[in-house]
Chain A
Amino acid sequence: GQSLEQPSEVTAVEGAIVQINCTYQTSGFYGLSWYQQHDGGAPTFLSYNALDGLEETGRFSSFLSRSDSYGYLLLQELQMKDSASYFCAVRGNTGGFKTIFGAGTRLFVKA
């Protein structure tokens, strides 16, 4: 089976940097994704890591350590619009590479 753990809530101030951690357990692992979901909206893809290391996309970066079954999403220069839920998601190499989501981290950005 697969399971993911991430903090339920994080609060930060505008302009700051925040890191959202994710640990996972899976019987087969191919990659770790991050999705953002605003209230009332659909989840949208942010990033994907299949190999160890850091992937950077603008203000967002994502890190993966396969040996530690651990990853994080780093958000820099926080803006009010970044207030949303962030989900880590595991893509397994069994079961046809389907994607399983964590419970999500609610990020509150304060002025």
Chain B
Amino acid sequence: DTGVSQDPRHKITKRGQNVTFRCDPISEHNRLYWYRQTLGQGPEFLTYFQNEAQLEKSRLLSDRFSAERPKGSFSTLEIQRTEQGDSAMYLCASSWVLTSGRATNTGELFFGEGSRLTVL
């Protein structure tokens, strides 16, 4: 397995257009996360999946954002009617988390190289 891969690496779009990003996690990982990162800031949590179930979505996330993880494998993040404020690096990460009662491992996140979105 070559790690977490994201596609496309760069996307330039005009305001109002829809964009979709894809993430292929490490195959044996059960968790998949989406984060957004702007210059000089840390990764901001957007949403995450446990297998195919979306367990949480950030309250800061607009309804224009939607994510799916069909069959618990790859995931897509779609942004509808993009705005200039959506310009950022969109990071995907996967991990293996034990969640039976308590987490007993580090939950180390393995990040992809990200998809950089520029909205003109």
Which of B33, B42, B111 is within 8 Å of A98, CB to CB?
B33
> Does A71 sit within 8 A of B, measured CB to CB?
no
Is A42 touching B112 in the complex (CB atoms < 8 A)?
yes
Within 8 A of B (CB), among A71-95: 87, 89, 91, 93, 95
Within 8 A of B (CB), among A46-61: 48, 50
> Does A21 sit within 8 A of B, measured CB to CB?
no
Q: How far is the CB of B94 from chain A (nearest CB, A)?
A: 12
Given contacts A43-B109, A102-B42, A103-B41, contact A93 B102 (CB under 8 A): yes
The CA of A97 and the CA of B109, in the complex, are separated in Å by 12
Q: Which residues of B contact A96 (CB under 8 A)?
A: 48, 50, 55-56, 99
Is A98 touching B45 in the complex (CB atoms < 8 A)?
yes
Is B103 touching A30 in the complex (CB atoms < 8 A)?
yes
**How big is the A interface, by class?**
20 to 34
Task: Please count how many residues in chain B sit with their CB below 8 Å of the partner chain's CB atoms.
Answer: 26
Is A99 touching B55 in the complex (CB atoms < 8 A)?
no
Is A104 touching B102 in the complex (CB atoms < 8 A)?
no
Is A42 touching B41 in the complex (CB atoms < 8 A)?
no
Is B103 touching A87 in the complex (CB atoms < 8 A)?
no
Is B43 touching A87 in the complex (CB atoms < 8 A)?
yes
Q: C-beta contact mask, A4-39 vs B, less than 8 Å → 1, else 0? A: 000000000000000000000000001101010000
User: In this complex, which of A41, A42, A50 has the most chain B Cβ atoms within 10 angstroms of its Cβ?
Assistant: A42
> Does B106 sit within 8 A of A, measured CB to CB?
yes
Is A42 touching B113 in the complex (CB atoms < 8 A)?
yes
Is B43 touching A48 in the complex (CB atoms < 8 A)?
no
> Does B1 sit within 8 A of A, measured CB to CB?
no
Which of B45, B97, B99, B114 is within 8 Å of A42, CB to CB?
B114
Is A99 touching B107 in the complex (CB atoms < 8 A)?
yes
Q: Which residues of B contact A102 (CB under 8 A)?
A: 42
A-B contact sample (15 more), CB < 8 A, given A48-B106, A103-B42: A30-B102, A33-B106, A35-B109, A42-B91, A45-B106, A45-B109, A91-B103, A91-B107, A93-B103, A96-B48, A99-B45, A99-B109, A100-B45, A101-B43, A106-B40
